[in-house]
Every structure is written in C-alpha cells, then in structure tokens.
Amino acid sequence: MLAAVLLLGWAGAYTSYIRAPAVLLNADNGILTYVSLNVTPGHGMVYVVGPNNVGSSTTDSAITAAAYASEYLGYNENNYTFKYRIDNSSNISGPSAGLAFTLLAISALQHRPLADNFTVTGTIASNGSVGEIGGVYNKVEAAKEQGMRFVLVPYAPPYSFEEEFYYIAQQHFNVPLVEVANVTQALPYAFGDVSSEPLSFNLSENYSVGSLPATNLACTACNNSAFALLANYTLNATAAEVNLLSDNYSAVKRQMMGQLDQYRQLGAKGYLYSASDLAYLEYINAFMFANSGNATFAHALQVMENLDSYCTSLAPPPMTSANYEYVIGGEMRQTWGEINLGYSEQLLNQSESSDGVLSSLDVAASSAGWCNAANQMYSIATRIGGTDYVNTSQSIKALAASYIQSPDISNGMYKNAAVQDYQEGLYGAALYAAVYANTFDNQSRQFNASPISAGAIASNLSAYNYGVWPSQFAKQSQFYLYEAGLSTNASNRSAYVYSAYTTMQLAQGLQYANRQITASFVHSTTPLYQAAPTGISVEAQITGIKVEISQVYYILLILLVVVVIMLIVMIAQLVRAPGNGTRNETKRAARGRRQSD
C-alpha cells in the first residue's frame, strides 16, 4: 500500500502544455492553439475536450498517444486518467495532433515541461512512428506569426513532394523545419536538449559526364542541328527560370546551375535529348520555387489562366516532309500541356489548404514546360520549312485508333492525349502519344532484368535511326547504359538498365510510327490543314473512336454478307442451267486432247 501511494505521488497529477498548429479548412489559414494534458491517478480513461466538436480521429490519436507514452516510460496506463484540452472554439479535428498528444503524455507522466518555443505536427502510430500530415505551409505560416523558433514535422523521403513542400515553407517563412520519423527522435528537440537546424533540400544528382564517351549512334533522315537548337532552348529557358529565384533559395539555385552545367556537357557529347529532358525536370522545380512566394488560391488561378491563354494560342506551321517530326512532336506536347493544365485546375479547385495550391502549381509547371517546348518546336519547324506540304492519310487514323483501343494500355495522360489528338484530326500526334502510352502504360509489358541485359539493349540501339526522335531516344538509352556500367550501386545500376530498356522501347515505337507516317503522306504544293473540333470530353472522345471503329466493322460485315449471297445465287444458277454437265465434259475432253497432242 505504501509503495503504491509513493508511486502515485511521484507520477501523479501534472499538467503539460504545447502549442499545436491546425488548418482552417477552405480558408487557406493556419492557426496555433494551446493543447494541454492533465494526468491524474485513474483507471486508464482518455478524454479530449475543448472544441465544439472533437472528431473520432482526434480521440483515437489521443488514446494511441497515451498508450504509447505509458509503454515508452514503463508505466501502466490503467493507473492514470488522461484529459486533453484543446483551447480553441473552432471545430478542429483530425489525426495530425498525434505526435503533440504523445509528447504531452511523456511530459506529464515525467513531470517535465516541454520547451515553449516550438510547435509540432504529425500523426502517431502504436509503435511510436510519426506519419504524414497536410497543410504544412499554413501551419508553418501560423508558427511564424506566433514567433515559434522551429517546427517538428514527419520525416519525408528524399526528392519527394512532401520534402519539397517542407523546404518551400521553411525558406519562405524563415522557420526551421526538423524532420522526425518517431517519438524518440522528437523528444530531444521537444525538451530543448538539442538545438534545431534548418533542413536542407538536395537537388543534385551527379552523372559520370567526364567518363562518358561521345555517342556513336548515327541517324538518317535527321536534322541534328535543329534538334540542338531545341536542346539549347530548353537549357536556356531553365536557366532563366532559375535566375528568377529569390535569395531564400540561393542554395538550390547554386545546385540547379551546377546541374545545368552537367547537362550542357551531356549535350556536347551528343546526348541532346538527355540534356534537354533533365533540364526540363529542373525547370519544374525552378517554376515551383519561383511561384511559391504566394501560395494562395488567387495567385495559382492567375498562373493557370495565363498558361491556358498561352498554350491555346500556339499554332503549328504547315507540315512538310522536312519538318513533320517537329510539327507532330509539338502538337503532342501542346496537348500534354493542355491536359495537365486541366489536372492542375482540378487540384486547385479541390484544395483545402496551401498544400493543395502548391500541388496544383507543381502540375502546372509541367504544363508550362511542355507548352514552351511545343512553341519552340513550331519555331524550328517554321525555320526548316519546305515546299513539299504533306498530310497523313486515313491509314494513320486507323493505326492510331488500333493503338488507342489496345486493352493493355491503361488510362492516363498519354492515352488521353492520344484520344484528344485523334478527335482533333491530328492523327500523327495521336499515333506518337499512343506509342508513349504503349511504352509507359502497357500493363502486359513487364521488365525482367535477367533476360533483358544491358548487352542485349545495346546491340539493338543502332537500328533505331529513322528520324530525330527515334535516334535521340536510342542515344538516351545509350546514356543510361553507360551510367549503369559506371555505377557502383546495385540498385542504381538496375534502375539505369530499366530506364535504358524503356527508352529503347520508345525509340522502337517512334521509328515504326515515323515509317508509317512518311509512307502515308499525302503530298501537295500548297499547305494542307485539318479541321480540329474542340470541347469534347475524354470519355466522349473514346466513345467516338469506338463508334467509328464499329461503323467500319459493320460496313465490312454488310459487304461480306452481300458477296456471300451473290456467290450462292451464281452457284444456284450454274447448277440449274440445262446442259451444264455436258458442256463441262466437252471442255474436259478438249483439254485432254490438247494435252495429248
């Protein structure tokens, strides 16, 4: 009895406090609220009081927090009552206070106060691991307004959207964010035992540029100087976007410029598409950072309206036998940009916090990059020019339709782009997009590293040289193979071989498309244009293609029935005709006499 009394006296009633952030949904606004926990001797009950309504997920988090904290300290939770109070009149609900609840429970059970200069967000699991949350941008904004020195946030994987959002929020509000994967990592910061350091964001990926040989793959029917213009444009456009970054992003700005130097060296060795593709990915990050200073719904909406006006204003020049790859490639990318812009607008309209706004801007960044590329391709196509004006025949329409209708291709951006281009009469672009879908979204195509060896891939690459796109993707596949051979990390090596395999498949598919397109050309001495109906939903477009194919099948079936009926009638007439057998015998006899003469 005395031992029990002494135990309760040591770990008895105590109240601990913390300030936890929350997001007011649909208001783009974060707040900090006091959360307290009073622990008293009891029977294991856990209560959450304060707001008008407390959601079940909030209560569940409190129960998990109390159980884990008791287990962590070696206490029996059934000896205590845990009463959490959220000091705010708003209806705040959700599991993101789980880590805060846990820190409070450990603090109260130990009679040790938490530091008062930080805030914390993150879910809690029964094993003490910290899970992801939403609204980080708004929560860090609230921490800044309340003078918090740092924010504890759940660990995010490197190069992930979450990590990028963390970095944006930290740099914009100048409040360090500390990533923690579990309660054990969080405790030293929560009790003030260690000081916080701002998180860093690594964009650098070093390629073996100095050791790479120049590509030895040749190309027929190519205009490499024109493609060099496209690669240089992409590199310069990315550099210009990087230069727009504020001083808050000086560290990543230096990284990006260093990356662009690598990509220019890749281009100098002939890997032009690899250089421009990697630069395009840098452009997306730079666009995000440049627009993150105003992560509001109104700003994002204005960005998208501007992009929509820009993308829809682009128009390809007349297609010739000399510039067709740039016209078709530009049309496809313009469609990619328009489709992704639609996805971006959906994300924005569904956003409940600035995280959703940032997500929509990230998707919009890819739209900007693709529309910029389309514009440059149209410019190059105009420069190439030519007087042999061409258009694709109905055979390309049928081929594109067959690709689109493949049951192995899953629905996604590439297939949707193929459908949209098909409905607009851009059959070459539809075929290109369908090749992309068949390469990247083909559910039946499996990659197996053992039979698909690097050597087998390399032996095929020289065959894909008909046109600039197949040639450039073959060279990109070669680039990945070289990187795989130089890599000392088994996981990276396997990833490089997989990338080499998929780009080889793309080179193969685009070469087939080029041969079919050029063979189908309808030639003219004056520009040829195609009508382009607009405003049709993707679902309606797919239905329209199915209807067109069904109509062709019905026509062929009717023709077949008519032919069969005519044959039956002719046979019946021959059978009923008088003397038919005699004439046949006479013919056979005559043939026999000629052979014997």
The mean pLDDT value of the chain amounts to 86
pLDDT at 557: 57
pLDDT score at 531:
42
Q: What is the pLDDT of residue 572?
A: 55
Supply the pLDDT for residue 577: 47
Q: What is the pLDDT of residues 517-527, one digit of tens each?
A: 999 999 998 99
Assign residue 122 a region: left if phi > 0, alpha if psi is -120 to 50, beta otherwise? left
The DSSP secondary-structure symbol of 292 reads G
DSSP strands (E only) in 372-422: 389-391
Overall average pLDDT of the 103-130 stretch? 96
Q: Angle CA(236)–CA(240)–CA(246) in degrees, nearest 5? A: 155
- In whole angstroms, give the CA distance from residue 133 to residue 97: 9
In this prediction, residue 206 has a pLDDT band, given cuts at 50, 70 and 90, of confident
**177-180 and 123-124 as β-strands: parallel, antiparallel, unpaired?**
unpaired
What's the rounded mean pLDDT across residues 369-387?
A: 96
Question: Residues 125-141: pLDDT tens digits?
Answer: 999 999 988 889 999 99
pTM: 0.82
Give me the residues paired with residue 21 across strands. 32
Average of pLDDT values for 393-403? 95
What is the reported pLDDT for 56? 85
Q: Is the pLDDT of residue 532 over 50?
A: no
pLDDT given at position 453: 83
Q: Retrieve residue 275's tokens.
A: 């250089």
CA distance 186 to 152: 7
Of 559, 577, 579, 580, which is closest to residue 569 (Cα–Cα)?
Answer: 577
Sign of the alpha-carbon dihedral angle for 521, 429, 327, 264: negative
Position 445 confidence tier, pLDDT thresholds 50, 70, 90: low
Higher pLDDT, 566 or 554: 566
CB-based contact 383:294 (threshold 8 Å): no
d(CA 432, CA 328): 8
The band of 534, judged by pLDDT with boundaries at 50, 70 and 90, is very low
- Specify the pairing of strand 46-49 against strand 80-87: parallel
Contact 58/25 with Cβ under 8 angstroms? no
Whether the per-residue pLDDT at 374 is higher than 50: the answer is yes
For residue 125 the two structure tokens come to 């699991």
- The answer to whether the CB of 366 falls within 8 A of the CB of 340 is yes
pLDDT tens figures, 301-349: 999 999 999 999 999 999 999 999 999 999 999 999 999 999 999 999 9
Tokens 């590199």 correspond to what residue? Answer: 235
pLDDT at 449 over 50: no
Amino acid making up residue 333: R
pLDDT band at 22 (very low <50, low <70, confident <90, very high): confident
pLDDT at 10: 45
